[in-house]
Structure 1
């Protein structure tokens, strides 16, 4: 039992800690709404910091609380598996795959694994499958709840059920009303705190080495000779080298192929930072994994696995060791570290699983019945709260079952669920990140194979390994991963060969100096294509149509061109003269080593207007073109009559972390490595419902890919444009844009806001905040409309512009 001093000290600590959490949750809920309120943090990510974050992402409280219990029971065989072999698999996978991912990774933005899978392979059904599969992560929630309950119950000498209910009510409660709170540290701070706890636990058994390492081994052998052997035939998990080495190596490699782990490298600014990042992450992670050594210290402390005359369950060994081994002050530090690491892990799991259930399952199945736009968002938020309550009840029920009647350890229960989950995800993520033009059947078949093999092996007790009372989930996961790998890769090459052997197969593409003629946009071709040579010799391609007393000058978005305006310009051509230009470097305009910037594009737009002798034109900008339009208005006040912004960039802002993430995401190598499937998915993300008459946009991009020189120039141009948008913010200068302004957003815009960097923002909120900075501006939200509103909802946009312009 814990001493009375530790009980009181822990009670005070928990009250203060809980009060601090509630303070930050309430403070966050009451903050004034602004873009900066929703930033993801302002830590400057050096390679060392990102490495620490990586280590914390891979490690959970289970590493400190649950896993050492296996070592206490089974000795060196468990140490070999959990502290050496599995880490080696993880480190090998990190070292081999990280640099490859930075060059060839998929640029898929998603909040959950289900969304990642769905976007990568363009399949809502596949996303729904992974949404249901994500429910397996509840087993990990149970593991964390059990581990934290064990620690607090031992420290407070309290009943585990009451502690469990109180813990779940508190954590799930504030997650329901406040989200992830500011008191629970970032991954970097967690890693530092976990390092302190790791060194305390590792150093706690120094007295056992008073007679050297051999003396330490002799003490363990005196308790049980199998504790000091590399193989323990009396265990359920470490009976031979296949279980200890091969299975844990496979699991270790598979763990890394998860987006939240492998994408950490995108936060690095320079390629030369990768080695420092890996060195830091691997070194710190090695220390974390070595904490299981404390299980041997605990076994020496409790040789007969009893404490105060009561038998210890495996999951209670380390909590009992902590409260009996350390003085009050040191014990509080260890308890604080274990709870903080556990709480942060639990928060992330609650947020991830509840988001998956709400968005990927309920939102998908309910479809339009939940409404559109803000109405749908409000309903999903309300549903999410109910989902969190449901998760709390289920977690308490399952956790109490593991506290009262564990199958050796809650670790077995959690491994069965989590290993099945990433066994199913391993091949789809591997193919999605490192392979191009993947036939969808390959990852789907691989996932189905993994699920069937894993649970078939575990519950069907296939192979002699699964005949014992306690079954090893690593065996089932190994079979599942290997089987899914064979199925997925075989189908990939088989279907690719069939596709290449088909009549539509094309031979090798030759490089040409000239850009191939672009396909014409569909619809009425009432425009003419022109070229204007500006004063500095730069040629600007543009199209013109219509007649009228007023002229509309259209500016396109990132990676687009003037053809994206044809549909809207045609609808407006009966009322206005319509001119749409290509920015320098884009499509029909000249190519060269231009000083790409928002100011440069704005200057060329003004020069074109002057060259064409346009009087008081009305400027219309979409996405990046919206930010260019704002820059042009600020450059030449009074030059334009009115301003129309369609889903403009520049309203949504990002901190340093977001800037760096976006820069790395839009690197030339990543753009060049984008698969055909991902190219299509990227275009489709611009629309609420992809219209068939927009197919030419995808065809144009795929045609460009076949022209080596043109595509290489494009891959260099886009990152420079992204950097320019980030380096030349306009948000703080919006009040200076003193002219009538119409702002249009699609209610179903998937690109603004960026859900990875500003997950709590909505499109309407971004629009309202931006409109609030421009005096006299009008904001219109278009229903059933995505980011490319001028094409998808051309008639509605045309009507709004006619009403605004007059």
Structure 2
């Protein structure tokens, strides 16, 4: 079998398997609830792999290694150490409490969870609207997938973009959360294999001396704090901001809502352990930035580092070409594994939190909501396609600006909603969210804080401090007041 025939055969099998899993999901999807969070019949290991794959998307597998390639050890520590610690801490602190509130109130989305916790439809609507900023991350993933596809198939990046969009939107339309979970588990296993193979294959470049090898590109490149970098230059920009924003990014609509998939409390530990172990394996992909640099690869755009390295490393011999195809399909799977989760979350929020609360006619069986969520999904696809057609040069930073604003707004309401068992006035929560949201955008867009992690971290700290200050001022008998969750 020639490499060319193998390439098309593997793609055919991948597409067929994906649609088969989405078909299985479609048979279990009967209404908006099952489309959004399933029917509580998915196991913790499946959900854990799905969660890890959703977190470690095109950013980890395609985009972030380019930052390591350009900025060196400081970028690796930012994404590989600071971010991992932030994710781990968020899971350990918030998973059980978030699930408890969601289970008690039958929340379907993050804005829905906020409505039940704080009792404000306006605040819920605000979060539903700003969650639409996740579309910037959809653009990042679509661009990343189109770059990968055009690198091994004889199609332009524009045509690859069209194919990627039609493929992922079609199978998500079929099965919703089930299609997302089933295909993510399948894609996640491919991602595990690729991460391990690429990591162990590339370790030869260090020749047993990690720091010494990096030093050949300059002391700053091998330094924890790169004074020549405009992104990762001191402790806060490398570790502090990464920890804070990664913690906050767990509040994204396509990530923390997976906690609501779990059926019982006893599943939580299995879910967390699976997510962490698989996530650590995925983070090995960051080393490709080092491997590409040491191998002498010269790339004009850092977004192309991973695809260029894989072609250089495996495209020169017969067996390598077969593996090149498998790796590229796996990297596409990495992007799709997050993209489908975002799409499910966005379409569910648009219906459940923006349309349904104000609709005059509400369907009891959820079928009308399911149909509307699919219609909204098509609209999201068209907007994403328009934005991805001519993307900004550094699409990673473009996505971070929007998604980090969302994370900065979500941090205080969710953290205090889980950790503080008392009523907090909705006005205080709203102000804290505004501080996080607009603080990040003002710092990043108008005040020269170029690194989105830093600008969002500053605004998150200010947002959290505002609520802490309120709690200290009102400390007293009210601290033991029970929260009354709203139930429809």
Q: Tell me the TM-score normalized by structure 2.
A: 0.85
Q: Choose the corresponding residue for 1:350, options 343, 350, 353.
A: 343
The structure carrying a bigger strand percent of its residues is: 1
Relative to structure 1, the CA distance from residue 114 to residue 203 in structure 2 (aligned partners, 3 Å threshold; closer, same or farther) is: same
Q: Following the alignment from structure 2 to structure 1, what is the Cα–Cα distance between the partners of residues 295 and 405?
A: 35
Relative to structure 1, the CA distance from residue 8 to residue 298 in structure 2 (aligned partners, 3 Å threshold; closer, same or farther) is: farther
What whole-Å deviation, never above 9, does each CA across 1:298-348 have from its counterpart, x for those lacking one? 12234432xxxxx3x111110122233231232233223222232222111
Q: Does 1:447 align with 2:433?
A: yes
Q: What is the 5 A alignment of 1:82-481? A: 82-98=79-95, 107-176=104-173, 179=176, 182=179, 185=182, 187-210=184-207, 212-213=208-209, 217-256=211-250, 260-261=255-256, 264=259, 267=262, 278-305=272-299, 311=300, 313-326=301-314, 327-365=320-358, 367-368=359-360, 371-373=361-363, 377-378=367-368, 380-402=369-391, 405-406=392-393, 409-436=394-421, 437-461=423-447, 466=449, 471-481=450-460
Post-superposition offset of 1:472: 1.0
Q: Following the alignment from structure 2 to structure 1, what is the Cα–Cα distance between the partners of residues 106 and 28?
A: 27
Q: Choose the corresponding residue for 1:677, options 469, 472, 484.
A: 484
In the alignment, what sits opposite 1:67? Answer: 64
Q: Following the alignment from structure 2 to structure 1, what is the Cα–Cα distance between the partners of residues 455 and 332?
A: 31
Q: Following the alignment from structure 2 to structure 1, what is the Cα–Cα distance between the partners of residues 463 and 20?
A: 47
Post-superposition offset of 1:426: 0.7
Relative to structure 1, the CA distance from residue 676 to residue 226 in structure 2 (aligned partners, 3 Å threshold; closer, same or farther) is: closer
Q: Following the alignment from structure 1 to structure 2, what is the Cα–Cα distance between the partners of residues 18 and 181?
A: 17
CA contact (8 A) 2:21 2:182 kept: no
Q: What is the 5 A alignment of 1:612-631? A: none
In the alignment, what sits opposite 1:723? Answer: none
Paired residue total = 477
Relative to structure 1, the CA distance from residue 675 to residue 56 in structure 2 (aligned partners, 3 Å threshold; closer, same or farther) is: farther
Higher radius of gyration, 1 or 2: 1
Post-superposition offset of 1:268: 8.1
Q: Following the alignment from structure 1 to structure 2, what is the Cα–Cα distance between the partners of residues 69 and 32?
A: 39
Post-superposition offset of 1:190: 4.2
Relative to structure 1, the CA distance from residue 472 to residue 265 in structure 2 (aligned partners, 3 Å threshold; closer, same or farther) is: same
In the alignment, what sits opposite 1:643? Answer: none
CA contact (8 A) 1:231 1:238 kept: yes
Q: Following the alignment from structure 2 to structure 1, what is the Cα–Cα distance between the partners of residues 23 and 263?
A: 33
Q: Which runs of 5+ in 1 are unaligned?
A: 306-310, 509-673, 686-806
Q: Name the SS of the counterpart of 1:158 in structure 2.
A: coil
Q: Tell me the TM-score normalized by structure 1.
A: 0.54
Q: Following the alignment from structure 1 to structure 2, what is the Cα–Cα distance between the partners of residues 316 and 113?
A: 34
Q: Following the alignment from structure 1 to structure 2, what is the Cα–Cα distance between the partners of residues 82 and 121?
A: 33
CA contact (8 A) 2:250 2:256 kept: yes
Relative to structure 1, the CA distance from residue 384 to residue 249 in structure 2 (aligned partners, 3 Å threshold; closer, same or farther) is: closer
Q: Which runs of 5+ in 2 are unaligned?
A: 315-319
Q: What is the 5 A alignment of 1:767-778? A: none
Post-superposition offset of 1:277: 5.5
Relative to structure 1, the CA distance from residue 420 to residue 320 in structure 2 (aligned partners, 3 Å threshold; closer, same or farther) is: same
Relative to structure 1, the CA distance from residue 494 to residue 484 in structure 2 (aligned partners, 3 Å threshold; closer, same or farther) is: same
Relative to structure 1, the CA distance from residue 257 to residue 395 in structure 2 (aligned partners, 3 Å threshold; closer, same or farther) is: closer
Q: Following the alignment from structure 1 to structure 2, what is the Cα–Cα distance between the partners of residues 487 and 31?
A: 44
Q: Name the SS of the counterpart of 2:182 in structure 1.
A: coil
Post-superposition offset of 1:292: 0.3
In the alignment, what sits opposite 1:744? Answer: none
CA contact (8 A) 1:11 1:156 kept: no
CA contact (8 A) 2:98 2:259 kept: no
Relative to structure 1, the CA distance from residue 99 to residue 124 in structure 2 (aligned partners, 3 Å threshold; closer, same or farther) is: closer
Post-superposition offset of 1:477: 0.7
CA contact (8 A) 2:46 2:181 kept: no
CA contact (8 A) 1:184 1:340 kept: no
Post-superposition offset of 1:400: 2.5
Q: Following the alignment from structure 2 to structure 1, what is the Cα–Cα distance between the partners of residues 251 and 271?
A: 17
Q: Following the alignment from structure 2 to structure 1, what is the Cα–Cα distance between the partners of residues 41 and 402?
A: 35
The structure carrying a bigger helix percent of its residues is: 2
CA contact (8 A) 2:62 2:307 kept: yes
Q: Following the alignment from structure 1 to structure 2, what is the Cα–Cα distance between the partners of residues 119 and 99?
A: 17
Relative to structure 1, the CA distance from residue 676 to residue 224 in structure 2 (aligned partners, 3 Å threshold; closer, same or farther) is: closer
Greater length-normalized contact order (CA 8 Å, ≥ 6 residues apart): 2
Q: Following the alignment from structure 1 to structure 2, what is the Cα–Cα distance between the partners of residues 235 and 6?
A: 41
What whole-Å deviation, never above 9, does each CA across 1:544-575 have from its counterpart, x for those lacking one? xxxxxxxxxxxxxxxxxxxxxxxxxxxxxxxx
Q: Following the alignment from structure 2 to structure 1, what is the Cα–Cα distance between the partners of residues 444 and 58?
A: 25
Q: Following the alignment from structure 1 to structure 2, what is the Cα–Cα distance between the partners of residues 27 and 265?
A: 20
